[in-house]
Amino acid sequence: MDTFDVIVLGAGSAGLTLARAASAAGRSVAVVEGNRVGGDCPFVACMPSKALLRSAEVRHLVTRAVELGAVADIALDDGGPALARAVLRRDRTVNHGDDRAKAHQLEELEGACLVRGRGRIEPGLVVLDGRRLRWTDLVVATGSAPSTLPIDGLDRIPTWTSEQALTSGPQPSSLAVIGGGAIGCELAQVYARFGVEVTLIESQAQLLSGEDRSVADLLASVLTGDGVDVRLGCGVVAASSGSRGARLDLDDGHVVDVERVLVAVGRTPNTAGIGLESLGLEVEGKELPIDERCRVRGLDHVWAAGDVTAVVPYTHGANYQAKVVAANLFGKGMVADYRAIPRAVYTDPPVASVGVGHDVAGGRGIDVICSSVDLAETPRAGSDGSSSGRLVLTADRTRRVLVGAAAMGPGADELIGQATLAIHADVPLSVLAGMVHPFPTYAEAYGPAMDQLLEQIDGFASTPSGPAGVAPDA
């Protein structure tokens, strides 16, 4: 029987981070994986979607070539062949799903062992293919899978999960996307920009439920401008075969007929069938409950990181939790702090946020103040020809620090970094207001947004930044 200091169930982002940490600490570690080394993100999620989004962005930018003075006239080719080329690029970006390079990186780590196969947990053991691996500490990092919906007839019509949409080649002539979260919005934009007739159906009153409403509304406007039929506040009650392939009956009485349906309603933690019940955990299909050190509650030597915890369902969140686990496994000690984990939707333009908004902050007893600035008012928007965007800041009046931020606009996924650091480090508003940003950039919007917050606290702004759209005197 092989014995390891640490066994990690799952070789996704969290698993690889833990393997590197264990190796660096001089501990023996086995990583058990029944699918691809690297997890979903490099092959069927983050990277293929970003590759397609980039191709769609370039195609859209070409439509503005005359407006921006790049050419006298231009005509786009048919969307079908263009998407086929984008798919080829997507597949090159993800190395055609080949995980050998990542597996090699793992196997090269001193003290690390990659065990291929689906492992099942027993007390003190992981069992697979007749092998019994003994662990001192176990880390569950099995990730998540696309969720389904209990809609009558949905299993009898042409459907895709997000993973299937990101690994398939054929272009449907029409597509219904159920779910207005990050995945649904991103893929709706991709297919619409390649000429597919897209209907986006979201049961909530806004896209990106839980995010700032004004930013979500801007995203809805962008998608509508791309040709997406955005249906908010309505759900699907039944599905059946239709004249085009699939028919969806909505609870508002309308009917959507499309060739294919993409179900993008979130993800479910992979806790079923891995033997957690042998440890006294009845969590099949649910997240693993963890404490502030990422230890599974009630179990001294069992830890969890990544999507299986459903705390911060992002690759960077998985990496962070893996670092927390490693610190506690190897004697450094660390408590997880989720206040400043950024969230991003990589549409064009992107949406990004961090911390909490007005309603959540108020519900926590925080004395909330907010400010907002239209990014279209910045000089950079004028030079870029950008007509939409917004930065929204949420602060604690009493503590005089940021607690949340949301943005939509060019580079919003990078723009949110300043607010992320401010929340993480509790940087005083007065310090943030005194920052100097290069001209002309979208980051200049932070100046007047900070001034608005300080005016609500002190009755005056502490810096002479002026309106976002006004350049300083030369």
CATH number of 343-458: 3.30.390.30
Beta strand pairing call for 120-122 and 125-128: antiparallel
The CATH superfamily label for domain 2-39+99-146+268-329 reads FAD/NAD(P)-binding domain (3.50.50.60)
Whether 2-39+99-146+268-329 shares its CATH topology with 343-458 is answered no
Residue 243 has pLDDT above 70, yes or no: yes
Residue 470 has a pLDDT of 41
The string of pLDDT tens digits covering residues 171-216 is: 899 999 999 999 999 999 999 999 999 999 999 999 999 999 999 9
Residue 315 has pLDDT above 70, yes or no: yes
Beta strand pairing call for 131-140 and 2-9: parallel
Reduced to 3 states (helix: H, G, I; strand: E, B; else coil), residue 283 is coil
Domain boundaries, given as residue ranges, for the chain:
2-39+99-146+268-329, 154-265, 343-458
CATH number of 154-265: 3.50.50.60
Residue 427 neighbours by CB distance under 10 Å? 17
The string of pLDDT tens digits covering residues 216-229 is: 999 999 999 999 99
Whether the Cβ atoms of residue 28 and residue 19 lie closer than 8 Å to each other: no
With the CA atoms of 114, 281, 13 and 313 taken in that order, what torsion angle do they form, in degrees rounded to the nearest 10?
A: 170
**Counting every residue, how long is the chain?**
474
Residue 218, C-beta contacts closer than 8 angstroms, at least 6 positions apart: 388, 389, 390, 408
Whether the bond between 440 and the residue before it is cis, its omega within 30 degrees of 0, is yes
pTM, two decimals, is 0.94
Helix or strand holding residue 163 (H, E): helix 162-165
Residue 387 has a pLDDT of 86
